[in-house]
Amino acid sequence: MQDNTQASKPLYIRLRANDNVAIVANKGGLQPGAEFAGGLRLIEQIPQGHKVALEDIAAGEPIRRYGEVIGHAAKPVAKGSWVKESLVLMPEAPSLSNLPQARGAQIVQEPLEGFTFEGYRNPDGSAGTKNILAISTSVQCVAGTVDFAVKRIRTELLPKYPNVDDVVAVTHAYGCGVAINAPGAAVPIRTLQNLARNPNFGGEVMIVGLGCEKLQPELLLPEGMASPADDSDIMRMQDESLTGFGEIVDSIVAMADKRLGTLNRRRRETCPAADLVVGLQCGGSDAFSGVTANPAVGFAADLLVRAGATVMFSEVTEVRDAIHLLTPRAVNQGVADALIREMDWYDRYLQTGEADRSANTTPGNKTGGLSNIVEKAMGSVIKSGTSPISGVLSPGERVRDKGLIFAATPASDFICGTLQLASGMTMHVFTTGRGTPYGLAAAPVIKVSTRSDLSERWHDLIDVDAGTIATGKATIEDVGWQIFNLILDVASGRKKTWSEHWGIHNSMALFNPGPVT
């Protein structure tokens, strides 16, 4: 990266010595004739975040960013010109056979000792960053009623229980009218089972069902609780002992009251940072994502892993083109094979829908300078840092290992967030370039912007400005430590994120790869 402390001069950001393109750093872009410190002169206008050719590139030659081939030139590209999306022919995804072998066990990291947070210890040994009552639901039919009951619970009950942060209805569109025995159904079902066990829900389970649905409520009880003798955690709206809507709602409110009393007796206690389960995600990415926000999050991810915590990165379509960079980081060949298995599953899933990974990039990504999914993926995986990958989860599986975990999910923001919550995430770190007001009810979301203009414009939505890395005001390490410390503060309830402050609670979204009937 060239010296960019004087932001008024034409500046580009080149990531690797052998890259033949760089991105324009200046706010508002640059005009033809603009000359960089090294003598390169622009021959056309280039918007901020878009790529400039650092040398002449012949038709068919590779275009390199991040030291990786992000495409091939569709026609000759002159030095100093704008490397537009139409000039970048997308390469094939890396083959899933003959990938580099697992060598992650050789990665040496110094342990990071002494970092703690004030969390809620659960009976199963996990620790929450919040003390929330979750009301699980087995079918969409009950969602409106549960939402109605939650309004009453918030106004009538929560004031009596000051140590409880919130009550959350886990409502969704699944549960009936679906092929419940199809192989794909396992994903939404285990997602709902595991959501109820999220550490931020304190081990208190209650499920509201209808009665006649395909997904019978007892299927959602955590393992070991599914005995028909103990049905006290389930209420069915069609239960013949309930007369009218009023009694149905009263019954839900009464179940909640009992559990809120238990949750209210809990207090925060000092927990090692190793008890954190942090999920990483990006959304509304731009060309700066892989330069500022994601590298800073990657640095924070390494700190968390060194402190013994669990860190999950996800979004299969955004790592698929970087799989050759991930298999060598697997701690053993079993983990490398699991990575490949998840990529292969998703390739086939996309094929079934007659789509491929190129369907991932959005108009906003492209306006932000990202030509294709390969370039987006190279910037996306940087948020996983440099730690060895110690485990792989299929969508919605509960996390079993400490360290850096690949939790396979779609890249769709709310589906990814929901699946990471099911895996046990208690804190979410979300990077954005274009800007999104993303928020979750079940876990705090720290939003990191890739550019300072976004964090200035959205001063009351963005928690961390990583754009300071591009303007030279801060280093990747500075912002990485800032994110790490903010994670500990938010996990302890000492600080609130903007999405918590405003109560921005986007709905959960299940991933259902199975057929609907």
Name the site residues for Ca ion (rule: CB under 5 A). 283, 411, 413
Tell me if 188 sits within 8 A of 512, measured CB to CB: yes
Question: Which of residues 96 and 509 has its CB atom nearest to Ca ion in the complex?
Answer: 509
Q: Give the list of residues 6+ apart from residue 351 with CB closer than 8 angstroms, or none.
A: none
Is residue 427 within a helix (H) or strand (E), and if so which, with residue range? strand 427-432
Question: Which of residues 283 and 433 has its CB atom nearest to Ca ion in the complex?
Answer: 283
Question: Which of residues 131 and 380 has its CB atom nearest to Ca ion in the complex?
Answer: 380
φ, ψ of residue 497 to 5 degrees: the values are -75, 165
Backbone dihedral region for residue 203 (phi beyond 0: left; psi -120 to 50: alpha; all else: beta): left
We find the least distance from the C-beta atom of residue 364 to Ca ion, in angstroms, to be 12
Question: Which of residues 149 and 411 has its CB atom nearest to Ca ion in the complex?
Answer: 411
Tell me if 172 sits within 8 A of 511, measured CB to CB: no
We find the least distance from the C-beta atom of residue 439 to Ca ion, in angstroms, to be 14
We find the least distance from the C-beta atom of residue 407 to Ca ion, in angstroms, to be 13
We find the least distance from the C-beta atom of residue 369 to Ca ion, in angstroms, to be 17
We find the least distance from the C-beta atom of residue 297 to Ca ion, in angstroms, to be 13
Tell me if 490 sits within 8 A of 497, measured CB to CB: yes
Question: Which of residues 435 and 493 has its CB atom nearest to Ca ion in the complex?
Answer: 435
We find the least distance from the C-beta atom of residue 340 to Ca ion, in angstroms, to be 22
Question: Which of residues 275 and 413 has its CB atom nearest to Ca ion in the complex?
Answer: 413
We find the least distance from the C-beta atom of residue 416 to Ca ion, in angstroms, to be 5
Question: Which of residues 73 and 411 has its CB atom nearest to Ca ion in the complex?
Answer: 411
DSSP string, 297-336: HHHHHHHHHHTT-EEEE--GGGTGGGHHHHGGGBSSHHHH
Rounded Cα–Cα distance for residues 430 and 417 (Å): 10
First to last CA, the chain: 54
Neighbours of 495 (CB within 10 A): 17
Rounded Cα–Cα distance for residues 486 and 492 (Å): 10
We find the least distance from the C-beta atom of residue 418 to Ca ion, in angstroms, to be 12
Integer CA distances (angstroms), 194 to 2, 26, 42, 266, 419, in order: 47, 45, 54, 22, 9
Neighbours of 47 (CB within 10 A): 16
* Strand partners for 344: none
Question: Which of residues 57 and 411 has its CB atom nearest to Ca ion in the complex?
Answer: 411
Tell me if 383 sits within 8 A of 371, measured CB to CB: no
Rounded Cα–Cα distance for residues 326 and 308 (Å): 20
Question: Which of residues 412 and 475 has its CB atom nearest to Ca ion in the complex?
Answer: 412
We find the least distance from the C-beta atom of residue 300 to Ca ion, in angstroms, to be 18
Strands 310-313 and 277-282: parallel
Task: Report the residue number whose CB is nearest to Ca ion.
Answer: 283
